[in-house]
Amino acid sequence: MKPLTFPALLATALALTLGACSKQESPAPTAANTAVAPLATNAYEAVAATAKGFTVGALMSAQTVYVLFDPQCPHCGHLWQASLPLHSKVKFVWVPIAFNTGKSLSQAVALLSSANPLEAMNAHEKSLLAGTGGMDASSSLPPELEQAVKSNTQLLNSLGADSVPFLVAKNRKSGAVVSNAGALDTGPLAQLLGID
């Protein structure tokens, strides 16, 4: 039997323990798929009003899903992959945060400033999930984008969340504000969003 390579081991580990990355260990896995208590409608509105991210998916959709993520989080990469089949139904706003000021911050700024965020995020997550660290990013950061990422991180903290990916949306069927901390597969993600 051929031994597993590092990328194969990483993929296997992700498949077995879909979870979240925590700021406590910059980032490290935590409990799998931890649903968060329902957020008030004003929390959704606060995210919509203050988060700085990039939009992908069905740009004309009335349903907007906000995903706060750290570029160095493999669980965020899994949620990105799971969201791709839903891009024809939902508008996603990916809101980068940085638990540390190392690669996370520079990659978050690079994604925010990308001319084609869908292409940049696909390439970044493919590299990250392959175990090669994600996209190369400049250490020279535009101050306004660096501040935007720091504000996004403060927004995550104000929501009472301490791990990513952290999703905030309104369920299409019920209109209720829903949230989830941790990665989801496509089916459970569609169900959470009310588009199953």
Give the amino acid at 63: Q
> Can you give the pLDDT of all 196 residues of the chain as single tens digits?
334 333 333 333 333 334 667 665 433 333 334 444 456 668 899 999 999 999 999 999 999 999 999 999 999 999 999 999 999 999 999 999 998 767 999 999 999 999 999 999 999 999 988 999 999 988 888 999 999 999 999 999 999 888 999 999 999 999 999 999 999 999 999 999 999 8
Question: Which of 137, 18, 142 is CA-nearest to residue 80?
Answer: 18
Q: What is the pLDDT of residue 37?
A: 46
Q: What is the pLDDT of residue 36?
A: 42
How would you classify residue 88: left for phi > 0, otherwise alpha for psi between -120 and 50, otherwise beta? alpha
Helix (H, G, I), strand (E, B) or coil at 117: helix
Say what the pTM is: 0.82
Structural domains in the chain?
A: 36-193 (3.40.30.10)
